[in-house]
Amino acid sequence: MADLGGRPADGADSGDDVLVLKPKLANIRQSGRWTVPSRIVAECRMMHIEIDFTEAVCPHREVTVEATCGAGHIRLVVPAGWGVRVDGSSTNTGHIVNKATEAAEPGAPTVTVVGHPRSGLIKIKQRRH
C-alpha cells in the first residue's frame, strides 16, 4: 500500500482545495501529518484506499468526502471529537458501515461522506479518546 504521508503520489492529484485519490495498480493510504482540503474525491475499482485523519491538520469546519468504489474498499478513520455524517449515498450490492457515532465536539470538523459502493465497502471508523 502506498503511504502518501501528506504528499500526492501516483494515483493522487492535489488541486487547489481538492485531494483526488484514484489508485490504478496499488492501494493508497493517506495518513500521518497532512493538511486536509475541504473536498476529497476517492475512487477505486478493485484497489483499496485508506484516509486516516488521526494526525491530520484540518483548517475547515466541513470536509466532504466523495467515495466511489467498485469491488474495492475505502476506509476512513477520524479522530475522537470529529463528527461524521453520511449523506446522499447509494449502494448496489455494496455496503456503507459508519462506526463513527460520537457527536462532534464544539468547533471540531465534520466529515460528510457521500458514498457510492457498487459491490465494495466504505467503512468509517472513529478513534477513541
Question: Taking the domains of the chain in order of start, what are their residue ranges?
Answer: 2-126
Q: What is the pLDDT along the chain (129 residues), one digit of tens a residue?
A: 555 554 444 444 444 699 999 999 999 999 999 999 999 999 999 999 999 999 999 999 999 999 999 999 999 999 999 999 999 888 888 999 999 999 899 999 999 999 999 999 999 999 986
What is the structure's pLDDT at 76? 99
- 68: CB partners within 8 A, 6+ apart: 42, 43, 44, 115, 116, 117
For the chain, the helix, strand and coil percentages under 3-state DSSP, each to the nearest 5: 0, 45, 55
CA distances from 64 to 18, 28, 35, 46, 86 (A): 10, 19, 14, 22, 10
Which helix (H) or strand (E) segment holds residue 66: the answer is strand 62-69
What is the structure's pLDDT at 123? 98
What is the structure's pLDDT at 89? 81
